[in-house]
Amino acid sequence: MSTQSRSREQETLADIVVVDYGLGNLRSVSRGLERAGASVSIESDPEAFGEADGVVLPGVGAFGEGMENAESVRDALVEVADSDTPLFGICLGMQMLLTESEEAEREGQGDVKGLDLVPGRNVRFETGQTVPHMGWNDLSIQREHPLVEGVDGRYAYFVHSYYAVPDDEDAVVATTDYGGSFPAIVANDDGTVFGTQFHPEKSGETGLTILRNFVDLCAE
């Protein structure tokens, strides 16, 4: 580890809350954020969200289960978004930022609504494509955003069967390709609510760069 990396870890740049709603790689996400210079707390108490410099919504699993588990923190997450405190969704957490997902319909759960912070819908990969999509894919930056500084063309690690289709094309920050182009990173109009379909905590130096960018944004 370089001296610069060690000094960054020793210096707390921002206080970050990782949301605990029963789903997600909480420890690995927390370790990645700590490497990026954050002081991290894992919280299920919505009152803690408003005191943080930034909030991370991780997630693995099904959309319906995610929204059901997150019901107790839904209003608090919306308040975070309204306050302009950076809100970062990872994998399922990114999908939960959208309005809805056809995954719930396929599983017979009916009308399951997301947080609707980035208007759009999650859809399944086309018939004939192997799912889940699992592996390393390169990122193609589509518009400027602090999260993606220094990562254009670099590779990140994906594991998912559904992907985001935002209502507004401008919500797409970066794309990748798996039998066709799809959003790898999305963000709202203000750029303070955003998410990655891939796992930055599993994406080596690319992921660490993104987490550092996030921590730096929170520290501003």
Q: How many CA atoms lie within 13 A of 35 on its CB side?
A: 18
Whether residue 206 contacts residue 180, with contact meaning beta carbons closer than 8 Å, is answered with no
11 touches 213 (CB < 8 A): no
Q: Return the C-alpha torsion angle 176, 98, 120, 132, nearest 10.
A: 40
Q: Is 199 a catalytic residue?
A: yes
For this structure, is 133 an active site residue?
A: no
3-class SS of residue 59: coil
Catalytic residue among 43, 91, 100, 218: 91
Helix and strand numbers, DSSP H then E, in the chain: 7, 13
Strand partners, 127: none
Q: Is the peptide bond before 132 cis (omega within 30 degrees of 0)?
A: yes
List, as one string, the DSSP characters of 96-157: HTSSEEHHHHHTT----B---SS-EEEEEPPTTS-SSEEEEEE-EE-S--GGGTT-TT-EEE
Selecting among 65, 133, 160, 199, the annotated active-site residue is 199
Any idea which residues carry the catalytic annotation? 91, 199, 201
